[in-house]
Structure 1
Amino acid sequence: ARIEAERAVDVLADSAYVARYPRLEARDLGGFASGAGRLALVKRVPVGPVLAITPFNFPLNLVAHKLGPAVAAGCPVVLKPASQTPSPALLLAEVLLEAGLPPEGLSVLPASAADMEPLVRDPRFRLLTFTGSAEVGWALKRTAWDRRVALELGGNAAAIVEPDAGDLGEIAERLAFGAYAFAGQSCISVQRILVHEAVWEPFRALAAAATHAVPAGDPADERTVCGPLIDSANAERVARWVEQALAAGGRLLAGGARAGNVVTPVLLEGVPPDQPVVADEVFGPVAVLQRYHHFEEALELVNRSRYGLQTGVFTSDLGKVRRAWDVLEVGGVIQGDMPTWRSDPMPYGGVKASGTGREGPAWAVLEMTEERLLVLR
């Protein structure tokens, strides 16, 4: 929670920086006969009122990613926080108002999804920005088809481990953290770990040991890495998906016990690709090992997902890194680290079912503004 609060401060600080240095582009049109003696200036202006909807899993930082850029762009914003976690949004709004934000610039509505339907349909909101599930996000886009929509949706994050990756033990521990922290309730949680056959056996053993070592249980204990799922329905779903994977021929290497809403970190192998733990977004503490024979095969396996958020590539070969950057159908490629890694100022977002648009204050402001041209003679 303290780390999330620190990250939210970074988001607001970066938003303030973006607000202080608005974009202005100048282009001399004299290179064409039609533009002789004329200068084009392009600035960005607010699109207008923004409707923002945020999820439960990072109830402060993801709210900051909506409010900070909206203030920087000059857009009034109505925010609907997750029903399970409205308090951080209300507290942050109070802080912004105390800092001088005009009251008409921000409203926070702790409402149900059904209650938000009229607002989603309201054409006065010129931008809808949503972070949450793919199913809900794309339904919102269909409703608001005639307006701007920015979607930061789910993922099925993969990591590729090449023979030249480095210390396999450190990589296994890093990926275990990426898979099981926050009980896997992150859209860039490690879900698929693709391992080259040359290092398959040692990495498999190290990954199982790293999974066993992840502290799970009470989130009030600061040693806990993997806490509970958000509710019993999701805990039951995750347990059911694991059972289905095992029934389909998958093998359990670690974890799988359940106590209330806590599911101990699960590591699987040999799971058929059509199983939900491979094909869909688990949004729980489950990771699947998959063996591959050559790097191009690993890239193909990453791209078989309908999601495309981020991928981690563990290799010291810059040529392979650039190849991954060229061909992977994802929003971001992270070299030498888990796909769960994120720095808040960077452009963050996905392709395919993972959404459209980018977050990170400088990029979110682009979503919230539009170009306006002035031609001078």
Structure 2
Amino acid sequence: MMIDQKNTVTLPVYNSYTGETIGTVPQATSEDVMQALDLAKKGEAIGKNMPAAARVAILKKAVILMEQEFDVLSNLIATEGVKTISQARKEVERALNTMQLSAEEAARISGATIPFNAVAGSEDRVGYELKCPIGIVVAITPFNDPLNLVCHKLGPAIAAGNPVILKPSDYTPLIALKFGEILYEAGLPKEMLSIITGAPEHFGDALISDERVRLISFTGGVAAAEAIQRKAGLKKIVMELGSNSPVIVLSDADVADAVVSCVSGAFFASGQNCVGVKRIFIDAGIFDSFVAQFTSQTAALKIGSPLTEDVDIGPIVSQQAIAQIDSYVEESIKNGAKLIAGGKAVGASYVPTILVAECSNDIANCKEVFGPVVTLSKVENLEQAITNCNKSPFGLHAAIFTNDINNAHKAIKGLECGGVIVNDSTDYRIDAMPFGGVKLSGIGREGVKSTIEAMSETKVVCFKLKL
């Protein structure tokens, strides 16, 4: 923890593949949270008075230090997290981009002039709007992108001049602590960042409900999000939650390209990806060909230690998560789905699993499974595909493969989601784009610029002149 913790209780952090203990972190208490909030209140004044040039310098220095620690950061992600080493390196590359974007956006936070004289009686008035730091931010991050999602919250918060209290996942706290050290070394005042670790039942209510907190940025599950909303009180909330991302593949698509993209999208990070491909609706005319190619390419994926260079499938985050995946697969089969491949765990990993189901299978259509499981369904036309995509209570990303621009636009208009990807997997994302969902998939938008906007308040300034 980055504050002087009073409690001496520690919790182990495990290698997600071997189960070995690789470190310990403090178990925070409500007293620790109060100390962090007191510190952040001091940071609020520091951030409010920190020039943009100083914030830019800190963020740019952090990028340099991250580049120097590239291998350390990658290995931490692959050791305590769920990604293979090659996937972990990609995450560090994205995190570098996120922090670079934060530095660039910090230099161009601006308001606008307001045409007061457009209103009769206000001809003698001029003014503008300022963007000011919102205040103390609480950031809560998950295990599946343990560095880049931290960067997506801390980078914009620092860019906007806000202090942050970060609560990383209990599974992946070490990478967050390492990143905190990098920010301190880059010159971030310690009052502007505290990291709270341990099981939230010991301190969560105090952290969420305190009136000094002005914004909560949460990435995680729906149940936790609902609990946060009930306890938060009057403060701004940005949430990126669950998903059940669908893909439509039409007969006019490049089927080979769609297969490659969907295999990658379904099984990257062992399917523990909020925008990973979960449901694929395939035109009846190409269904058998697609299933054969998809099954063949999935079978070629290699399962093993995430630190091995050529491994494609690493660990599931916990045995409890494996049990949940098993339960989902079993429920889908009972509901009429046919198991084509996988459907079992191997050690800490889960074999990439393919189900074939009718569109009427509401288990596949409506439930979220956070693992390497994908359901393939046959559709007769685009309208049927869109209808079934929208059955889900989630709406983060959706995708369509087609070479007909009219079909693409029909899907864009009809799909209920935060983002539509055309001729690529649902898991395509750059860190500059607005990112978020509708329905149970979230509130607001992330992405560096969008997050800075959420973490800023608008102050209107008006001068009455003697002309």
- Report the counterpart of residue 237 of structure 1 in structure 2: 324
Name the CA distance, whole Å, in 2 between partners of 1:165 and 1:140.
43
Q: Is the 8 A contact 2:359 2:377 kept in 1?
A: no
Look up the match of 1:311.
398
- d(CA) in 2 for partners of 1:372, 1:321: 41
Q: Is the 8 A contact 2:141 2:169 kept in 1?
A: yes
* Residue of structure 2 aligned with 1:6, choices 93, 106, 111: 93
Indicate whether 1:144 and 2:232 are aligned. Answer: yes
Partners of 1:319 and 1:201 lie apart in 2 by 25
The answer to whether the aligner puts 1:301 opposite 2:388 as a matched pair is yes
Q: Please give the per-residue CA displacement for 1:131-152, whole angstroms capped at 9, x wherever unaligned.
A: 1111111221121141111101
Q: Which amino acid aligns with 1:177?
A: S
Aligned residue for 1:305, secondary structure, equals coil
Deviation string, structure 1 residues 24-56 (Cα, Å, up to 9, x no partner): 211323333143243331121111100111011
Determine the structure 2 residue equivalent to 1:198.
Answer: 285
1:29 equivalent in alignment to 2:116:
yes
Deviation at 1:4, TM superposition (A): 0.8
Distance 1:294 1:42, change over 3 A: same
Distance 2:380 2:363 in 1: 24
What is the aligned counterpart of 1:105 among 185, 189, 192? 192
Partner of 1:257: 344
2:220 corresponds to which residue?
A: 132
Give the match for residue 328 of structure 1: 415
1:29-178 equivalent positions in 2, closer than 5 A:
29-114=116-201, 115-166=203-254, 168-178=255-265
What CA deviation, in whole Å up to 9, does each residue of 1:72-104 have, x standing for no partner? 111100000111110111111111111111110
Which residue, out of 438, 442, 446, partners 1:355? 442
Give the direction of change, closer, same or farther, for the CA distance of 1:35–1:301 in structure 2 (3 Å limit): farther
Q: CA RMSD in A?
A: 1.5
Aligned residue among 291, 294, 299 for 1:207: 294
SS in 2 for 1:33: coil
CA contact 1:215–1:223 (8 Å) conserved in 2: yes
Compute the displacement of 1:241 (Å). Answer: 1.6
Identical amino acids, percent of aligned pairs:
37
Unaligned runs of 5+ in 1: none
CA distance in 2 between partners of 1:234 and 1:146 (Å): 34
Q: Matched residues in 1 for 2:250 and 2:359: separation?
A: 22
Determine the C-alpha separation between the residues in 2 that align with 1:22 and 1:96. 21
SS at 1:333 equivalent: strand
The structure with the largest alpha-carbon Rg is 2
Q: Which amino acid aligns with 2:122?
A: G
Unaligned residue ranges in structure 2 (runs of 5+): 1-87
SS in 1 for 2:306: coil
2:131·2:458 contact (CA, 8 Å) conserved in 1? yes
Aligned in 2, Cα 1:188/1:36: closer, same or farther, shift over 3 Å? same
Mapped partners of 1:248, 1:280: distance in 2 = 13
Whole-Å separation in 1 of the counterparts to 2:429 and 2:258: 17
Output the amino acid matched with 2:227.
Answer: A
Deviation of 1:274 after TM superposition, in Å, equals: 5.0
Runs of 4+ in 1 over 3 A off after TM superposition: 271-278
In structure 2, relative to structure 1, the CA distance for the partners of 1:34 and 1:158 (3 Å cut) is farther
| SS of match in other structure, 1:151 | strand
Quote the Cα distance in structure 2 between the aligned partners of 1:376 and 1:240: 64
Q: For the structure 1 residues 94 and 116, does the alpha-carbon distance in structure 2 shift closer, same or farther, using more than 3 Å as the test?
A: same
Q: What is the Cα deviation at residue 322 of structure 1?
A: 2.3
Distance 2:395 2:450 in 1: 18
Relative to structure 1, the CA distance from residue 343 to residue 213 in structure 2 (aligned partners, 3 Å threshold; closer, same or farther) is same
2:270/2:316 contact within 8 Å kept: yes
In 1: Cα distance, 2:121 partner to 2:420 partner: 43
Task: Give the TM-score taking structure 1 as reference length.
Answer: 0.96
TM-score with structure 2 length normalisation? 0.78
Query: How big is the shift at 1:217?
Result: 2.7
The 3-state SS of whatever aligns with 1:216 is coil
